[in-house]
Amino acid sequence: MGEAPAFLVDDLQNEPLNGFELKNGTCKTITTIGNKMYVIGGADDGTLSIEVQIFDRSLGEWIHPTVHGTKPLSSKGHSAVFLNDRILILKKGAKSDDQIWFLEVDTQYVRQQQKQLGTEVVAWSKGVIGNAEKPVVISGPSGVGKGTLISMLMKEFPSMFGFSVSHTTRAPRGMEKDGVHYHFTEKSVMEKEIKDGKFLEFASVHGNLYGTSVEAVEVVADAGKRCILDIDVQGARSVRSSSLEAVFIFVCPPSMEELEKRLRDRGTETEEQILKRLRNAAAEIEQGKSSNIFDFILYNDNLEECYEKLKKLLGLGGCVAATPKSAALGEFNLPLDHSVSKIDDKIIINCISSGLEKESKNLIMLDVSALKGGAPGRTRGLDFQAIGSFSDGLIGMERLS
Ligand SMILES: Nc1ncnc2c1ncn2[C@@H]1O[C@H](COP(=O)(O)OP(=O)(O)OP(=O)(O)O)[C@@H](O)[C@H]1O
Ligand SMILES: Nc1nc2c(ncn2[C@@H]2O[C@H](COP(=O)(O)O)[C@@H](O)[C@H]2O)c(=O)[nH]1
């Protein structure tokens, strides 16, 4: 039987939402959910990320959970607030793009992973202010022109779209660069990373392993861009049933003869590979047209016409769409000195700053009522508003963005 550490009893009397400092200088919070106490805070073993331990009060035992997602780097302190199925972590003194995190403890993704792995699972997800545009999943048989259409989109809108760089076990083609077109990977390495939960989806396609890592999607979201995934139908199906909300587009060839011509003219595959890809194409087209995976089907006969249709369904017809909201917002840094409380779906952050004349306190409201997404990816839909100041009396609502 394990023993609850001495700090739990005393420090729970303090403000667990806002954390407490231990004798060794590290800061931890404790969030109690049923019989489980989630102890979240800088590790004593010198690692740089925020660590998670769970104490099961009914068993009197420590549980070491499997931790999915990129762990946040530890900070000078943090606050923790429980929200139904996840714990909101606000890092003190962190930069605007690193201050809001979620530790998911009972979301659909966490429950799925627990079932699959048979262990206790928690998952980190970074919070994003505003609603970034949904990622775009583009599927279709090999040679139909997915890559060509995506290149045209990225060339015309370089600051709007970012490509999700997949992993593959196939060999690079002549001009392909590692880390740009694909992460070219050994099969054993990729299999281990799949087992470790690093992939949003993966599939065996035309005899090789392909997959989208969670990081590949997050890198694009972090750059404030809309993510484009070029993946096969099996991968699209996996993403559809994941928590990643996306727009799903299937690209169809005008005919099998034309598809074969394009594949042969591209000249990147051996005869054997071309035949394999053509055999698979018939089943992919059948699934693409008949399944409920895809929101849109595009016929790529005339390239320019098809590209115009693609732009139109992405809201780019005629005028340039606005920059994704997440890129423009979130330029507000939470100060080191703040405390946190929760009223319904609103988190009230009391920022305390000592001015020369008098101490002023600013109240910020973080609205978590419209959260979207989550692990394995970012949590979107957060909104900050300034709601008042103790020193000057309450001021009117004011958006910080
Ligand atoms: N509408 C079109 N008409 C004629 N040729 C086209 C058209 N669209 C693309 N192509 C050509 O077809 C070939 C295959 O296109 P592309 O490489 O973009 O296909 P893909 O769907 O990305 O294939 P893969 O899944 O194998 O990566 C390329 O040589 C491209 O230039
Ligand atoms: N399920 C996934 N499929 C992927 C991914 N990346 C690419 N693909 C698909 O593989 C085929 C073949 O691609 P090629 O570059 O070898 O011609 C094509 O249909 C791609 O859409 C992925 O990460 N997951």
Q: How far is the CA of 153 from the centre of ligand 2 (A)?
A: 18
3-state secondary structure of 49: strand
Q: How far is the CA of 367 from the centre of ligand 1 (A)?
A: 45
Ligand 1 atom at minimal distance to the Cα of residue 300: 1
Q: Is 243's pLDDT higher than 60?
A: yes
Residues 261-290: tens digit of each pLDDT: 999 999 999 999 999 999 999 999 999 998
CATH of residue 146's domain is 3.40.50.300
Q: How far is the CA of 141 from the centre of ligand 1 (A)?
A: 10
Which is higher by pLDDT, 213 or 5?
213
216 in any annotated domain:
yes
Q: Which of 195-199, 227-231, 340-344 has the highest mean pLDDT?
A: 227-231
**Beta strands 50-56; 61-63: pairing state:** antiparallel
- Which residue among 151, 163, 168, 273 is best mutated to probe the pocket of ligand 2, counting the most ligand atoms within 8 A of its Cβ? 168
Ligand 2 atom at minimal distance to the Cα of residue 164: 23
Distance of CA 12 to the CA centre of its chain: 32
Ligand with the closest atom to the CA of 142: 1
Q: Which residues are catalytic?
A: 173, 266, 277
Q: How far is the CA of 274 from the centre of ligand 1 (A)?
A: 13
* Tokens encoding 82: 């429980």
What is the arithmetic mean of pLDDT over 309-323? Answer: 71
62 in any annotated domain:
no
Whether ligand 1 lies within 6 angstroms of the CB of 181 is answered as: no
Instruction: Specify the residue with its C-alpha closest to ligand 1, atom 25.
Output: 142
Ligand 1 atom at minimal distance to the Cα of residue 265: 29
341 in any annotated domain:
no
266 in any annotated domain:
yes
**Beta strands 121-129; 379-389: pairing state:** parallel
Note the ipTM here. 0.98
280 in any annotated domain:
yes
Place of tokens 């989208």: 212
- Which residue among 229, 258, 266 is best mutated to probe the pocket of ligand 1, counting the most ligand atoms within 8 A of its Cβ? 266
Q: Is 245's pLDDT higher than 90?
A: no
Which domain range does residue 291 map to? 136-314
Q: How far is the CA of 205 from the centre of ligand 2 (A)?
A: 7
Residues 131-165: tens digit of each pLDDT: 778 899 999 999 999 999 999 999 999 989 999 99
274 in any annotated domain:
yes
Task: Return d(Cα 256, Cα 261) in angstroms, integer.
Answer: 9
Whether ligand 1 lies within 6 angstroms of the CB of 144 is answered as: yes
In this predicted structure, which of 125-129, 296-300, 325-329, 373-377 has the lowest mean pLDDT? 325-329
Instruction: Specify the residue with its C-alpha closest to ligand 2, atom 4.
Output: 231
Q: Rg of the Cα trace of the chain?
A: 24
Q: 3-state SS of 335-401?
A: CCCEEEEEECCEEEEEEEEECCCCEEEEEEEEECCCCEECCCCCEEEEEEEEEEECCCECCCCEECC
Instruction: Specify the residue with its C-alpha closest to ligand 2, atom 7.
Output: 231
pTM of the predicted structure, to 2 decimals? 0.70
Which is higher by pLDDT, 270 or 46?
270
User: Residue 375: its pLDDT value, please?
Assistant: 86
Residues 12-33: tens digit of each pLDDT: 444 445 555 555 556 789 999 9
395 in any annotated domain:
no
Number of structural domains found in the chain = 1
- Alpha-helical segments (H) within 14-145: 108-117
328 in any annotated domain:
no
User: Residue 234: its pLDDT value, please?
Assistant: 97
